[in-house]
Amino acid sequence: MSALFEPLTLRSLTFPNRVWMAPMCQYSAASSGPGTGVATDWHFAHYAARAIGGTGLILTEATAVSPEGRISPSDLGIWNDTQVAALRRITDFLKSQGTVPGIQIAHAGRKASTAAPWTGGAPLGPEEGGWQPLGPSPVPFDERHPVPTELSANQIQRIVGQFADAARRALDAGFEVAEVHGAHGYLIGEFLSPHSNHRTDGYGGSFDNRVRFALEVVDAMRAVWPRDKPLFFRISATDWLDGDGWTGDDTVRFAALLKEHGVDLLDVSTGGNAAGVRIPVGPGYQVPFAARVRSATGLPVAAVGLITEAGQAGKILANGEADAVLLGRELLRDPSWAHRAARELGGDVRVPQQYHRSV
């Protein structure tokens, strides 16, 4: 049997297989009123379909710790109890299908307050329902984005507390895994990279200072997240820049620190913090970054990035390059990818009784 369909245990939680769903924003929550940031029927149907399809872990899209932490006005949030109740409906169903529910907890930083991609994705001003973005330094993402407000030390600590509060609510909502979003040029990733972090205080300059905010968030979440449940961290392993960016070497060094601070798995992606860079995209193009972290630190990793075929995914695990694979667009195209892969590779994936006639 392919390693794709072997269970994986982290802390006391066992994942039924290693076909996992990567976080992908749906931009489908209400953007104003009492339903702001609340999961809708779209979210339920979207996640439920992938659970029925046999996915072992489903990580929700980036779920904001505060209104100003949303990427767009239509993002999910987890800063109030109304949002918790709607998410619990989803986690209850995922568990009923044998799927582990996980949540990616996020703050968009300087890339906040933008329109949904299908309406252009442009930054939104206050007159359009937007707000002033925040960041480690007054450095905009690109020429279209506004200059973010530089966070004070007190504001940084407030956001650390918001991540801890979000973790408490995530537990109340029934999630079994919490993932810190430190990738793709959002707030935590902005602090990590010298490309976006130009601070001269204890949160900028040296490597140790630039990782300080991320580790404070991890510590705050780990303090409230149960010891028997795993905590993940998503990283952009490189900015794909020559000179002033975050690098693969930085990622390996940081991964060792995350392991010491109680992170159980590194979700390894790349890019997103610098505009206009050329990324050598191809099948499995990010897998070597995950493999290097796993080899150098012993920290479990999940690989993501143009993993589309069952044989390709199985080979990544068989070669010891990752402990699990995260599928994004491929699961949008085929919610039952895990069932198809199991047929191809001879694995065993739970099929609901209502769908047994399809086996």
Q: What is the mean pLDDT of the segment spanning 320-325?
A: 98
Q: What is the DSSP string of 214-247?
A: HHHHHHHHHHHS-TTS-EEEEEES----SSSS--
CB neighbours of residue 233 within 10 Å: 27
Residue 357 pLDDT: 83
Residue 355 pLDDT: 87
Domains of the chain are 3-358 (3.20.20.70)
Q: b/e for 197-228, b at 16 or more Cβ within 10 A?
A: bebeeebbeeeebbbbbbbbbbebbbebbeee
Q: pLDDT, tens digit, for every residue of 223-274?
A: 999 999 999 999 999 999 988 999 999 999 999 999 999 999 999 999 999 9
Q: Kindly tell me if the per-residue pLDDT of 206 is higher than 80.
A: yes
Q: pLDDT, tens digit, for every residue of 45-98?
A: 999 999 999 999 999 999 999 999 999 999 999 999 999 999 999 999 999 999
DSSP 30: B
Q: Which amino acid is at 313?
A: A
Chain mean pLDDT for the chain: 97
Q: pLDDT, tens digit, for every residue of 135-145?
A: 999 999 999 99
What does the block give as tokens for 118?
A: 């299908």
Q: Is the dihedral of CA 318, 321, 327, 329 positive or negative?
A: negative
Show which residues are catalytic: 186
Is the CB of residue 56 less than 8 Å from the CB of residue 18? yes
**Distance, first Cα to last Cα, the chain:** 18
